[in-house]
Structure 1
Amino acid sequence: MRHRNIVVLAIVLAVFSTQVLHGQSLAVKTNLLSDATATINLGVEAAVAPKWTLDLSGNYNPWNFDDYRKQKQWMVQPEARYWFCEAFNGHFVGAHLIGGEFNMANPYFPFNFYEELKDHRYEGWMYGAGVGYGYQWILSPRWSIEAEVGAGYVGTKYEKYECVRCGEQLDEGYSNRFTLTKLLVSIIFMIQ
């Protein structure tokens, strides 16, 4: 727990130190798709060059939805972005990292993703990296909307349990897969 807090603090300080050094724009954002799943999320993005930004987003979901559905998790996702026009405007590509912890059983995912979570509970760590493509629409000098999709590698170290609330540990192991790593529609407020 302490190690995680130190890593998150170091990343946040790195983002803000580039802001101070370059005196560029800074934005805060929330992913509306995560909001729709009751996941608390916040992102901070800072311009570090005319066509480059650094983004740091985090998610936290502490909820148990009922006796048979659990989707607890936290995740941090830093990303470096290259903008084809200028920072915070138009098309961009990005490279991101993923790190976090999960405790899930029978979550709802569209298109039957992760079908193996239906009958057992899994908890553990996740890590990975991916690439993304997105677009940002400027609504006013301070407000924007952004959409991004990303894919890449996600590894997990997990423990598998019999059921959501009870049961013995059945297995433990590692999982490696190439999958969707980012899907967002964010509303953004520019701090200038």
Structure 2
Amino acid sequence: MKRSEERKELQLRATFLALLLLSLSLTSKGQQVGIGTNVSWWLTSTPNAELEIALSKKLTISIAGNYNAWTFFPDKMTLRHYLVQPEVRYWPCKSFEGHFFGAHGHYGHYNIGQIPFIPGLKEYTYRGELYGGGFSYGYHFAIGGRWGLELSLGVGYTYLEYNKYVCTECAELVGRYKRHFVGPTRLGVSFIYIIH
């Protein structure tokens, strides 16, 4: 199981490297590229980044990802996870200006639990995967020069498959579960920098 998690982590890193190289090549050809970070993820102590590339005057493609490897002591609270969310966006006026409508997907792996202030997560740890997709709406505010602020909200479907454990370290299995979720799938308060 540990080997498959390492393989997935390597695949995630390779994807980010490929996107970085792609953005550098497109930037050199005059393509508009933005990089950003989502403040709402930072509130959960989760480092994250987003890369967005204009495909035309009204169409962009982006990929957002986050990775959290923290276990908080002394209560052993864990928020470990990674999540990748690619999205295609349509901008009625012009890329990186005003309103946008998007279609996104998401895939993630998580190991969370022992969180004292969330009911159901205080006594248990959940380890599993999720994937799905949805639709989003957002607005990009120019805040000076190449900087912008984006607000976005997405709703859609998520399929979760996970194991439930009594605690983080003892790994006493309570059960294996599969769940379907329809509701919010994306929330963004992001600072964006337009590279070119």
TM bracket (short chain): 0.7 to 0.9
TM superposition shift of 1:20:
6.3
- State the AA in 2 paired with 1:49: S
Asked if 1:105 corresponds to 2:110, the answer is no
- Give CA deviations for 1:68-93 in whole Å, capped at 9, x if unaligned: 52211101110000011100000001
Answer whether contact 2:114 2:167 (CA < 8 A) is retained: no
- State the AA in 1 paired with 2:70: W
Answer whether contact 1:136 1:145 (CA < 8 A) is retained: yes
Answer whether contact 1:22 1:48 (CA < 8 A) is retained: no
- State the AA in 2 paired with 1:69: M
- Give CA deviations for 1:4-61 in whole Å, capped at 9, x if unaligned: 5336635763682793697420011011111122101011000001100011110011
Asked if 1:49 corresponds to 2:83, the answer is no
TM superposition shift of 1:94:
0.5
Where does residue 142 of structure 1 map in the other structure? Answer: 146
Cα distance between partner residues in 1 of 2:171 and 2:101: 44
TM superposition shift of 1:100:
1.2
Select 1:74's aligned residue among 82, 94, 101.
Answer: 82
Task: List aligned pairs for 1:41-190, cutoff 5 A.
Answer: 41-66=48-73, 67-107=75-115, 115-190=119-194
Asked if 1:6 corresponds to 2:11, the answer is yes
Answer whether contact 1:19 1:48 (CA < 8 A) is retained: no
TM superposition shift of 1:174:
1.2
Cα distance between partner residues in 2 of 1:180 and 1:108: 23
RMSD (Å) for aligned C-alpha atoms = 2.4
Cα distance between partner residues in 2 of 1:139 and 1:162: 47
TM-score normalised to the size of structure 1?
A: 0.87
TM superposition shift of 1:175:
1.2
Where does residue 3 of structure 2 map in the other structure? Answer: none
| Aligned-partner SS, 1:86 | coil
Q: Give the total of aligned pairs.
A: 188
| Aligned-partner SS, 2:55 | strand
Where does residue 35 of structure 2 map in the other structure? Answer: 28
